[in-house]
Amino acid sequence: MDHHFTKEDFFITINNDQLHCRWTLHGQSPRFPVLVFLHEGLGSIPQWKDFPEEVARQTGLDIFLYERTGYGQSSPLTEKRGLDYLHKEAAQLTSLIHDLKIASYVLLGHSEGGSIALLHAAEYPEGLEGVITISANIFHE
């Protein structure tokens, strides 16, 4: 099946930080759940390469990607990360999903993004349909 989709890059303010975001949207009515990508500890949107578009083609789902504070084109960090930073990232993800009115979603997280996905699932599961992790860190190194 041939899927036509468009990419839309934008910025959204969450907790005083500008986050760089990208939708990969299908031209038809939206399919649910939305697949939300969470990058690794040194990642950004471009490091996913064409993987999100291929997933969109194969699944027919809308894809949402964003760069956390301190990464890519998002706001730089203004303070050192504490030991609870992954929990703060999970809370920021919750705010982002709420502000974008994403009602149903699956998280796909790589490495540190996978850890954030698991924390989010444990603490803020409303609307969450599932979690996919790729090499999630499940203990503090």
End-to-end alpha carbon distance in the chain: 44
Tell me how far apart the alpha carbons of residues 40 and 100 are, in angstroms, rounded to a whole number.
Answer: 22
- pLDDT, tens digit, for every residue of 23-76? 988 766 666 799 999 998 888 999 999 999 888 888 888 999 999 989 889 988
Look at 6 and 68; give whichever has higher pLDDT: 68
φ, ψ for residue 132, nearest 5 deg? -120, 125
pLDDT class for 139, splitting at 50, 70, 90? Answer: low
- pLDDT, tens digit, for every residue of 82-132? 888 899 999 999 999 999 999 999 999 999 999 999 999 999 888 999 999
Tell me how far apart the alpha carbons of residues 48 and 97 are, in angstroms, rounded to a whole number.
Answer: 20
